[in-house]
C-alpha cells in the first residue's frame, strides 16, 4: 500500500501499531491530543478531518520501511483488525487529568475541535497523565500548556471511566493563580474562555458533566 486514499480510525490505529507506539507516544508524535487517539480506538470507522489526514499522510511517508511493511500486512491480512486491536494499547489503560479551574465566579473552559462530530465542543482543560507523573502535577502542567493559566490544586473531586471514551478521568478542583487565558494548542483547540459558573451547562450538557463538578461549582458560588 503505497498511498492511503482516506484514513479512518482503524487505519490510524494500524499505523500506530506498525510504528509500535503507545497511545501517548503516538499522540505526541503527531502533535495531537490523546483523546483523538482514544477516539480512533473506540470508533474505528471514524474519518478524521482534513488536517488530521495530512498529519497521518506525513507520518506514514516518513515511517521506516519495516514499519510500512508491518502496516501493509495489518491492513491487507484478513485478521488484521484483531491484530491491531490486540497489539495496540487500549483506551481504558489511559488516565487523564481534568482541571476545573475557578476564578471568582468564573470557570475555565476550552473549545476543542471534535472529530466525531466534525464540529466543536466545550470542555474543561485536560491532559494525559504520563507514567511516573503525579495526577496533580499533570493537572497543573497540562492546564498551563493548554491555556497559559497557572493554577493550584484545591481538592480532588474523584474519578470515573468516561462514558464515551472509556478513559479513566481524574478530576481536580483548582484555584486560579495567574496568567491570561490563551489558546496555546491551536491544533486541538479553537478557543479558551472564562465562563460564569452558572452558565457552564449552556456550554457543556449537564448530563455529561461529572456530578461532583456541579456540586463543587455550586458550593463555591
CA distances from 81 to 87, 99, 101, 164 (A): 10, 35, 40, 21
Binned at pLDDT 50, 70 and 90, residue 88 comes out as very low
Distance CA 18, CA 111 (A): 32
Distance in angstroms (rounded) separating the CA atoms of residues 179 and 173: 17
Q: Where are the beta strands (DSSP E) in the chain?
A: 95-103, 106-114, 119-123, 126-128, 150-161, 168-178, 189-196
Task: Tell me which CATH homologous superfamily contains domain 94-219.
Answer: Nucleoside Triphosphate Pyrophosphohydrolase (3.90.79.10)
Grid cell digits, residue 90 = 487500549
- Percentage of the chain beyond pLDDT 70 is 85
pTM: predicted TM-score of the whole model, two decimal places? 0.61
> What is the rounded distance in angstroms from the CA atom of residue 180 to the CA atom of residue 114?
24
Intervals of CATH 3.90.79.10 along the chain: 94-219
- Are 94 and 167 within 8 A, CB to CB? yes
Q: Regarding beta strands 168-178 and 119-123, do their DSSP bridges make them parallel or antiparallel, or are they unpaired?
A: unpaired
Give pLDDT tens digits for 151-182.
Answer: 999 999 999 887 777 778 899 999 999 999 88
Rounded Cα–Cα distance for residues 147 and 193 (Å): 9
C-alpha 125/C-alpha 106 separation (Å) is 14
Amino acid at each position: 500500500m503505497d498511498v492511503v486514499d482516506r484514513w479512518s480510525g482503524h487505519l490510524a490505529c494500524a499505523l500506530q501499531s506498525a510504528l509500535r507506539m503507545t497511545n501517548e507516544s503516538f499522540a505526541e508524535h503527531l502533535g495531537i491530543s490523546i483523546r483523538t487517539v482514544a477516539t480512533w480506538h473506540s470508533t474505528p470507522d471514524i474519518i478524521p478531518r482534513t488536517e488530521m489526514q495530512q498529519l497521518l499522510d506525513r507520518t506514514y511517508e516518513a515511517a521506516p520501511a519495516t514499519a510500512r511493511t508491518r502496516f501493509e500486512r495489518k491492513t491487507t491480512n484478513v485478521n488484521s483488525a484483531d491484530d491491531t486491536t490486540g497489539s495496540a494499547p487500549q483506551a481504558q489503560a489511559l488516565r487523564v487529568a481534568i482541571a476545573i479551574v475557578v476564578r471568582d465566579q468564573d470557570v475555565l473552559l476550552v473549545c476543542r475541535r471534535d472529530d466525531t462530530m466534525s464540529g466543536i465542543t466545550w470542555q474543561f482543560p485536560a491532559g494525559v497523565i504520563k507514567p511516573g507523573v503525579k495526577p496533580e502535577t499533570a493537572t497543573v502542567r497540562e492546564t498551563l500548556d493548554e491555556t497559559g493559566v497557572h493554577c493550584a490544586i484545591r481538592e480532588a473531586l474523584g474519578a470515573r471511566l468516561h462514558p464515551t471514551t472509556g478513559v479513566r478521568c481524574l478530576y481536580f478542583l483548582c484555584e486560579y493563580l495567574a496568567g491570561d487565558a490563551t489558546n496555546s494548542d491551536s491544533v486541538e483547540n479553537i478557543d479558551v474562555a472564562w465562563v460564569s459558573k452558572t452558565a457552564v451547562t449552556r456550554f457543556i450538557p449537564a448530563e455529561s458533566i461529572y456530578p461532583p463538578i456541579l456540586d463543587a461549582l455550586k458550593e463555591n458560588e
